[in-house]
Amino acid sequence: MSKTVLITGLSGFIAKHVALRALAEGHRVRGTVRDLATAGALEGTLERAGADLSSLELAQADLQADEGWIDAVRGVDYVLHIASPFPLKQPSGRLDLVPPARDGTLRVLRTVKDAGDSVERVVLTSSMAAMMYRPDRARHFAVREEDWTDIDWPPASAYVISKTVAERAAWEWARENDFTEKLAAINPGLVLGPALDTKSATSIEVIRLIMRGAYPALPPAYFGVVDVRDVAALQLAALTAPDTRGRRLIACESPMSMTEMAALLKQTFPERGKKIPSLTLPAAAVRGLALFDRSLKTVLADMNVAPDAQNEYVTELTGVRFRPAREAVIAAGQSLIDLGVV
């Protein structure tokens, strides 16, 4: 049965893939954008990817303002709240990203509650970042549904703090407002896979920097990798699977280091191999360089530790199986080549 799905931040990397899948499954999609002037480019991206735009509408709404949200939520059956700031270069203040992430999430939840009982479920896109950062982690450490990041840990970046604070605020609000049975969270790792246009996400930017040879050597950083197409499948499955209510769903296949990603890209795209670095920087060197290059601050907490996502329960609850991490890396690289950005 066709439903109307609201997707916040529709111009984002994950959101566009979610919209494609939702439209393909026969749903009506309403997507929020901060400025309707971007509508033409966004619709063009989705249409080139095979979307039927007859079931798509756009609404103007900004996470940092109340205007537009009541109209955006009115009449929808499901809400996928995906929008959240994720800059490549971290701001100078550790709490600078908290207000738009936390307040925007609460603004969406409050608007849904004010709309009455028409919305059957809200799925919040959080992150594994809200789960896995804390002191004294082992070289290989498990990440579980009940884990939370310690935001007072000094290496935690502004992005990590914002995702943790926003998700905690959402669950606290849900408990206080008898909303837990309507809420689920998706906690993806580093989201790779095919880019649909040149407006790449910060996660895809990691692959672009590797393929361009932006650095002569790579940080010894590890990320739990997931394909954006599987994240999209999980988003939609979480809307209707009965046992996802009140749950945090880890979306991750396996960890890969930046050096492993580079080696895979070099092997897969040998014609570009000269630019792709092969060396790994010592952690101490990365910390020193991060004092001058703020983009490196995003990897400081990921150096020399590999997260092992304990997420078998996610497949049991939703039926979604995650494709291999290497497939997500290759798909990301191929899409950047096809789009002419590397």
Residue range 248-291, pLDDT digits in tens: 999 999 999 999 999 999 999 999 999 999 999 999 998 998 88
Q: What's the confidence (pLDDT) of residue 200?
A: 66
Q: What's the confidence (pLDDT) of residue 89?
A: 67
CATH class of 4-338: alpha beta
| Crossing angle for the helix pair 13-24 and 228-240, to the nearest 10 degrees | 60
Distance CA 331, CA 291 (A): 32
Instruction: Let me know: does 232 contact 195? Beta carbons within 8 Å.
Output: no
Q: What's the confidence (pLDDT) of residue 210?
A: 95
Q: Smallest Cα–Cα separation from 259: which of 287, 285, 278?
A: 278
pTM, two decimal places:
0.95
- Non-local CB neighbours of 100 within 8 Å, separated by 6+ positions: 63, 64, 84, 85, 162
- Non-local CB neighbours of 40 within 8 Å, separated by 6+ positions: none
Q: Check residue 57 and give left, alpha or beta (phi > 0: left; psi -120 to 50: alpha).
A: beta
Ranges of the chain whose pLDDT falls below 70: 1, 86-89, 200
Distance CA 245, CA 243 (A): 6
Give bridge partners of residue 154 from the DSSP assignment: none
Question: What is the DSSP pairing of strand 28-33 with strand 222-227?
Answer: unpaired
User: Residue 130 has which token pair?
Assistant: 């809200």
Measure Cα distances from 261 to 7, 122, 142, 169, 334 in Å: 31, 34, 21, 34, 13
Three-class SS of 128-172: HHHCCCCCCCCCEEEECCCCCCCCCCCCCCHHHHHHHHHHHHHHH
